[in-house]
Amino acid sequence: MKTHFMNLFPSPFEEIRSGRKSIELRLYDEKRQKIEEGDLITFVNTENEAQRISARVVAMHVFDSFKELYENLPLLKCGYTEEDVGTASYKDMSAYYSEEKQKKYKALGIEIELV
């Protein structure tokens, strides 16, 4: 079992801490390819590095694209709320990852549970 570190903006950090968000979306890049079920992830708040959350990886959901991911994973567990899930779009991920990077790597939903 390994421990991985990931930075999170304050809003998704709070969603994970509260238990509302249990699937973190990332590119399936070299760093994420090292993660396995059972590993631990320490999430670090980007605006206060002293704030950290530990979570265990329950499942790794790998898809060819964020479009496919959005069609197959429960978006309410991915950080969307009842109010905004109706307008959720895989294109939202372009705010975090360039189209070029999205084409190079697959899309990943890391299912977690707090420890």
Domain of 8, CATH number, reads: 2.30.130.30
pLDDT reported for residue 57: 98
Determine which helix (DSSP H) or strand (DSSP E) holds 71, and give its type and residue range.
helix 66-72
Domain of 9 in residue numbering reads as 3-114
Between CA 33 and CA 66 the distance in angstroms is 16
pLDDT reported for residue 34: 98
Q: Give the confidence band of 75 by pLDDT, cuts at 50, 70, 90.
A: very high
pLDDT reported for residue 40: 98
pLDDT tens digits for 50-63?
Answer: 999 999 999 999 99
- Number of Cβ within 10 Å of residue 86's Cβ equals 8
Q: What separation in angstroms does the CA of 110 have from each of 39, 97, 107?
A: 11, 16, 10
Domain count, the chain: 1
> Six-digit token pair at 113?
């549970």
Q: Give the confidence band of 7 by pLDDT, cuts at 50, 70, 90.
A: very high
